[in-house]
Amino acid sequence: MEKFGDGLLIMIAAGLIVWWAIRRFDRWLHEPPGSRLRKLAQAGGVERDDAVELLEDQGFEVLSGKHRIPLGVVVGDEPSMPTRLYFDYLVSRDDKYYLVKLDRPRQPILWTASGLREKLLPYALLFPDCEGIVVASAQERQVKIVRFKVEAGE
């Protein structure tokens, strides 16, 4: 036969779990915009190189570097296939955050609307708090900021 203490312990444990879940949801709901980016900025170190110097010369503060975002792709009922998305740096300027992709000769960026969409839109969708994506070319000493905006349909 059950003892009164067993039921009481189960009720207390269930109450604590419900309280914890409500507290976590409330914290997530009221989390300020950009907190995910601030966590990323604290996570990565920065190695000094030509790209970092170029970004700093353009007025950016380099917060962290070399980030890898793990993703899973599921097609139909197949098991999840792992993949990754990389970006080179997280920078800030005027209290706004930017992701940085380096323009590399072996993976050049096609500077058309469709080329930029294919290459950079996933970053803008994963990090909507970013002001834009900085494309830096250390060889050409050029920095361009790419922003996406949704236009009214016709």
- Tell me what the pLDDT averaged over the chain comes to: 83
The 3-state DSSP class for residue 30 equals coil
Residue 57 maps to a domain: yes
Examine the domain organization and report whether 10 and 65 are in the same domain: no
Q: How confident is the model at residue 3 (pLDDT cuts 50, 70, 90)?
A: confident
Examine the domain organization and report whether 108 and 121 are in the same domain: yes
Q: How confident is the model at residue 65 (pLDDT cuts 50, 70, 90)?
A: confident
d(CA 64, CA 69): 14
Question: Structure pTM?
Answer: 0.68
Examine the domain organization and report whether 22 and 74 are in the same domain: no
Q: Token pair of 116, please?
A: 């930029």
- Residue identified by tokens 């980016």 is 37
Q: What is the pLDDT of residue 1?
A: 46
Examine the domain organization and report whether 95 and 66 are in the same domain: yes
Residue 73 maps to a domain: yes
Residue 95 maps to a domain: yes
Residue 152 maps to a domain: no
Which residues are CB-contacts of 146 (< 8 A; sequence separation ≥ 6)? 116, 120, 132, 133, 134, 135
Strands of 81-93's sheet, edge to edge?
Answer: 61-73, 81-93, 96-102, 132-137, 142-146
Domain that holds residue 100: 35-146
